[in-house]
């Protein structure tokens, strides 16, 4: 039965590195009580402005206290669930009614716990953390001169935290070392927690009997865009609406869903496709024609191959500083204006679309069109 495998949830201990800062709060608390009196009704104590170290210490104190209160309630529910077959006669309602009451209480506390968790780690912060770990992995791989390239796809898990899929190509002799480095960094923090060894890092090699790398990555791209070609999502639901939710999740938290790793710049490819004839010749003409025809594989080889360094690319992005304020009043900064080749800049951003107010009435009633698009030649 369920009660045979239900265990108590352990309390969360306060982070020891913040204990020193927390001790400094006591004089401030006593001074605030002496100044404002005991907060009998509100329970809130105004400490005024505090430094960052104390602010973090107090935040964790609140979070740990609230979380442990929830854990205490969950454990009480679990205790009732264990004893349900023997004590239900002393409780009001049938066993079924009492059971569902306990389940509802359990899930109520679970969602309270999740709300507090999101105060500490939003999907954006979780993605930032994963990016930080990946930067360390990339640095270690570069130090060992291990080559790789491919694609990263990010999708949400049930609790909204980001989950990475990495598709890499590399020499056979590098496979074991690259996997070892990634697994090492994935397990460094709290690697002994339950489920870490099973879920933190999973490595699979391409099995051509099941499909190619393109078919593997296409499935995850479809899950993140429009659900095209899928029978159902991971939970058996309708794939198109599931893909819409993923897009909203990525937009809400500013998470980049697709990231090429290694290889030439996709932005360079796009700028080449913007170029007109411009009388270009030689290497640049060949690159432009390749991009115009959509021959990505040939473009990669003309740029020096998938493992070429950016400093060795035959062409680069031409950028120009723009002091004009953006909608937040800050300078727009560096903007792409074209392609640089052999110390010559070839502009690709000839026109710019801007939004402006229409000055004349659209009808005799005097109603104005709020906005219109016009093209501005630079």
Tokens found for residue 351: 């026109």
| Catalytic hit among 14, 99, 108, 220 | 220
Q: Which candidate, 22, 4, 14, 184, places its Cα nearest to that of 82?
A: 4
Selected catalytic residue, list 99, 129, 216, 328: 216
Active site (annotated) includes residue 99: no
Supply the DSSP symbol for 231.
Answer: S
Q: Give the closest residue to 262 by CA, choosing from 128, 158, 169, 192.
A: 169
**Angle between helix 213-225 and 239-253 (nearest 10):** 80
CB 165 within 8 A of CB 266: no
Judge whether 48 and 27 are in contact, CB under 8 Å.
no
Sheet holding 344-347, edge to edge: 316-325, 331-341, 344-347
Annotated active-site residue 216? The verdict is yes
Backbone angles phi, psi at 317, to 5 degrees: -80, 135
What's the CA angle centered on 191, arms 186 and 196, to 5 degrees?
85
Q: Smallest Cα–Cα separation from 183: which of 147, 175, 257? A: 175
User: Chain centroid to CA 281: how far?
Assistant: 42
Q: Tell me how far apart the alpha carbons of residues 80 and 98 are, in angstroms, rounded to a whole number.
A: 10
CA atoms within 13 A on the CB side of 290: 17
Largest interatomic CA distance in the chain? 91
- Residue 3's φ and ψ, nearest 5 degrees, are -65, -15
> How many Å apart are CA 28 and CA 22, to the nearest integer?
11
SS3 state of residue 169: strand
Q: Which of 51, 48, 57, 53 is nearest to 28 (CA)?
A: 48
Active site residues: 216, 220
């Amino acid at each position: 039965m369920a009660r045979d495998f239900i265990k108590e949830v352990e309390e969360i201990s306060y982070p020891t590195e913040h204990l020193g800062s927390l001790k400094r709060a006591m004089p401030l608390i006593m001074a605030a009580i002496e100044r404002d009196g005991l907060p009998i009704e509100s329970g809130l104590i105004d400490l005024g402005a505090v430094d960052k170290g104390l602010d973090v210490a107090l935040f964790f104190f609140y979070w740990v206290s609230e979380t442990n209160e929830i854990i205490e309630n969950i454990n009480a529910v679990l205790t009732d669930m264990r004893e349900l077959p023997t004590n239900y006669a002393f409780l009001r309602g049938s066993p079924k009614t009492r059971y569902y009451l306990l389940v509802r209480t359990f899930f109520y506390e679970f969602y309270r716990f999740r709300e507090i968790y999101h105060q500490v780690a939003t999907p954006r912060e979780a993605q930032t953390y994963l990016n930080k770990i990946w930067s360390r992995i990339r640095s270690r791989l570069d130090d060992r001169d291990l080559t790789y390239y491919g694609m990263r796809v990010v999708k949400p898990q049930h609790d909204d935290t980001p989950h990475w899929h990495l598709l890499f190509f590399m020499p056979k002799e590098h496979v074991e070392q690259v996997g070892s480095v990634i697994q090492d960094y994935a397990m460094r923090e709290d690697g002994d927690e339950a489920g870490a060894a099973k879920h933190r890092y999973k490595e699979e090699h391409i099995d051509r009997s099941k499909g190619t790398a393109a078919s593997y990555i296409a499935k995850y791209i479809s899950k993140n865009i429009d659900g095209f070609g899928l029978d159902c999502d991971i939970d058996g639901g309708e794939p198109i609406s599931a893909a819409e939710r993923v897009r909203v999740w990525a937009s809400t938290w500013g998470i980049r869903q697709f990231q090429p790793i290694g290889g030439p710049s996709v932005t360079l490819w796009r700028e080449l496709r913007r170029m007109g004839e411009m009388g270009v010749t030689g290497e640049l003409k060949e690159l432009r024609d390749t991009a115009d025809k959509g021959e990505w594989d040939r473009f990669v080889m003309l740029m020096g191959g998938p493992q070429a360094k950016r400093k060795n690319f035959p062409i680069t992005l031409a950028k120009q500083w723009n002091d004009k304020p953006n909608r937040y009043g800050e300078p727009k900064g560096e903007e792409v204006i074209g392609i640089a080749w052999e110390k010559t800049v070839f502009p690709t951003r000839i026109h710019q679309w801007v939004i402006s107010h229409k000055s004349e009435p659209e009808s005799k009633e005097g109603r104005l069109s709020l906005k219109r698009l016009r093209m501005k030649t630079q």
